[in-house]
Structure 1
């Protein structure tokens, strides 16, 4: 058990009713998890207000309540703590509860619209291959050295983050690489963490359903860099005009990387092939199994980060040359009939354009590019016609289908994608709402040497409709469909 007053350090307290010099068992923000002698933190969320569950938490045995508004009736023997912001308070309390675990390892945060999962995962793999004990907090999974744990958010809640950072301390982990989403920053999930450094990959159209404007989305990302200490490093992609914005107010040591501009870390693509690319980083050439301009940027960020964390440059280049693709990120399969299928997480206009640009750069011109794509429900609607335009403009055939419709009508989502298709591209487009059938149709349309892109879900192994997740894996489905045609 821990002293409540110690857990509340830097929690932004405005008022206290009761004794903070008491022992408490655990901290929770979900009233259903509260047990005897726990602390309940009431948070005002997007759909529910935790303040409505204070009485329930007390009934279940809570010894203390942390909230933004004190209840009208205070129960004797319960400590009530009023704070400026419950989300910030939870983040500080979580860090304090677990003994500020981020201070005991070198934690690097990665933010940006695209590339977060690839950069964090490949940094984890690179440092593991270099012989270090490493942690990973990503969209796909959480890794505590060799132990894998599932995750459901790009940036988990602050209690979960600190719980796993604490596990990393216990396992002797030295480095941890963590995706930091705009949602996570806005909801204060990363507050109270000590970052050794932060990386900015790029910024493009996404999450405007949540942030309302591009400026707000950008400025939310920027807060990660604003909060860095003088001893930390800030590494940004200077080819993205928003890279300089990230550096404006940071106290950290500033570093840049680029393929097109003058930068501290400069790279160049010398040769493209479907099985990899030849890169020049600083003055050295290396072959990578990862292809595309977007991966060249990712690898450059990885090289720079490893250098800033103290690895030897030639060793970094060797380790980069051994890295494999991350699941669902330009993951490809070639059938017996020489049809190439590519599965990619591209779920934003910029990401889809990048993947199709890479494919069109590598093709000889005689192959057809068949793109299967949808858009997620309950998310930024303004990108749907843009995605429809890009898929139909840059492919020989485009099949619009269901992604994760969530609570929206799949047909309505597809109609909004169709709105972006220009008249000259209309004949290229097929509408097949069932995703499995859409993938099968793409495979049947393909002839030897054609390229099928299945975009939007990548590593996901489910499809979500009306709150229900059913098993669905794009890569398995396209491999199965092509294997049936190979018979």
Structure 2
């Protein structure tokens, strides 16, 4: 492949050598460079690819793509671009033969609800025969293959590599989570999104190596709506207008508001022992009843989003109703049947905002007791511990404080920090450091009509202790506990 082909959609300057050369591979990881590779120098938060020019030249790289001045041996072509992250995205698309152009790409951005909504959309579209690829926080799904995720939105090279595999696997649609980080770092640059979705915006991901401030976070979310044909937005969110202020796409809205194009009306909670759900009527652009096996108002938002998207794929109403009834997401309000007397669920809520949203939702079902089991990760902000402790102390009838990825900290020190937060409330709590023992306590002490939440781990199937990830899946722990309690 000619380097000029990879650069065809970019502005660039040939600083040394020629762009009219043959390239074997495109790389942004210096360790993987081989003879005749083109190496893109990315300025990362920890390492700078520009520091590895001599190293990749020695390995036989034919060209380096840079955004800064570098010294390179004369046999290496040096191509300068305004932004190497942006260049990597467009070069990756070209390298894999523009696979995104061969499918309909649906991108979802927002603070909460991205993951659940991607699975709902996938479920509905597959109900009518589409083959749907998925890229998100938990995994990438390509046909029968699933690849665990490292980032919500992978590096651009990986995205196009996945797209190419999806085309090969016969996918005609892709639904993907698009994080503000992914947008800020140009990981999704150049992708022709058919539909972009905005779920909501909360104060998250602000700090070193993330967003400088809330304004920047908001601005980055809005970038998606400059590169999609249609934007579908939650009109009830207070930042909706800010996020769409620079949008260049056609816009449709959903929500509870009378102004929404697609509205939820007559919402009511559905509950019986071991089951919590929600039912409502869809009005506006469509007209039918829905019931979902996932509790709460945010489930209404997630399902409305999915309905708004699938309307554009002409999915019949009965197929939407059926698919929404069975759409499940691992670790997102995942009900685990342990008793006919009380309800137990696993959820990924691992910060104060998501925990507050979850517990507030569950309180609406008027349980006998709301029991919340959680811990906090080690080597992370202490504020998160105080805040989560305070939220659980305020909203739960009983908090069970336990361990969750202590990393290089002592689990007891983390528990003590959580207790500081709970101490600001008059909430009752017990502390049981071993997570399996804590879950066993919750199940053994479950009362009729209780709702018990195991928060924080969700889809994760490990516990990280002193740099080692030990296998630990809460579903497995629950099965073991039920065997022991027999």
Q: Which residue of 2 aligns with 1:241?
A: 238
CA deviations over 1:56-78 (Å, ceiling 9, x no partner) = 21122211111222323x21221
1:370 touches 1:452 (CA, 8 Å); kept in 2? yes
Matched, 1:360 2:360: no
Q: Which residue of 2 aligns with 1:391?
A: 392
Cα shift at 1:197: 1.1
How far apart in 2 are the matches of 1:272 and 1:332?
14
Q: Which residue of 1 aligns with 2:456?
A: 456
How far apart in 2 are the matches of 1:260 and 1:465?
46
1:124 touches 1:134 (CA, 8 Å); kept in 2? yes
- Map 1:94-133 to 2 at 5 A: 94-133=92-131
Greater shift in the superposed pair: 87-96 or 328-337: 328-337
CA deviations over 1:399-440 (Å, ceiling 9, x no partner) = 2333234455544544443343354425x1333343333323
Greater shift in the superposed pair: 60-69 or 106-115: 60-69
1:288 touches 1:320 (CA, 8 Å); kept in 2? no
* 1:386/1:160 CA distance change after superposition, 3 Å: same
1:275 touches 1:291 (CA, 8 Å); kept in 2? yes
Cα shift at 1:11: 3.6
Matched, 1:176 2:179: no
1:208 touches 1:214 (CA, 8 Å); kept in 2? yes
1:34 touches 1:40 (CA, 8 Å); kept in 2? yes
How far apart in 1 are the matches of 2:147 and 2:425?
48
SS where residue 66 of structure 1 aligns? strand
Cα shift at 1:14: 4.3
CA RMSD of aligned residues (A): 2.2
2:442 touches 2:452 (CA, 8 Å); kept in 1? yes
TM-score, with length taken from structure 1? 0.92
Greater shift in the superposed pair: 265-274 or 400-409: 400-409
Cα shift at 1:484: 2.6
How far apart in 1 are the matches of 2:66 and 2:380?
29
Structure 1, unmatched stretches of 5+, are none
Cα shift at 1:319: 3.6
Cα shift at 1:446: 2.7
Cα shift at 1:477: 1.9
SS where residue 193 of structure 2 aligns? coil
How far apart in 1 are the matches of 2:349 and 2:462?
16
Give the number of equivalent residue pairs.
477
Cα shift at 1:123: 1.0
CA deviations over 1:23-44 (Å, ceiling 9, x no partner) = 1111111111111111111111
Greater shift in the superposed pair: 399-408 or 121-130: 399-408
Cα shift at 1:397: 1.2
1:28 touches 1:41 (CA, 8 Å); kept in 2? yes
SS where residue 297 of structure 1 aligns? helix
Cα shift at 1:328: 0.6
Structure 2, unmatched stretches of 5+, are none
SS where residue 420 of structure 1 aligns? helix
Q: Which residue of 2 aligns with 1:85?
A: 83
Greater shift in the superposed pair: 132-141 or 316-325: 316-325
How far apart in 2 are the matches of 1:182 and 1:464?
26
Matched, 1:191 2:182: no
Find the partner of 1:148 among 146, 149, 163.
Answer: 146
SS where residue 453 of structure 2 aligns? strand
Cα shift at 1:390: 1.1
Find the partner of 1:348 among 348, 351, 355.
Answer: 351
CA deviations over 1:454-475 (Å, ceiling 9, x no partner) = 1112011112234321111123
Matched, 1:270 2:274: no
Find the partner of 2:255 among 246, 255, 258.
Answer: 258
How far apart in 2 are the matches of 1:208 and 1:416?
22
SS where residue 52 of structure 1 aligns? helix
Cα shift at 1:398: 1.0
SS where residue 169 of structure 1 aligns? helix
* 1:187/1:403 CA distance change after superposition, 3 Å: farther
Q: Which residue of 2 aligns with 1:299?
A: 303
- Map 1:16-31 to 2 at 5 A: 16-31=15-30
Greater shift in the superposed pair: 371-380 or 130-139: 371-380
* 1:228/1:60 CA distance change after superposition, 3 Å: same
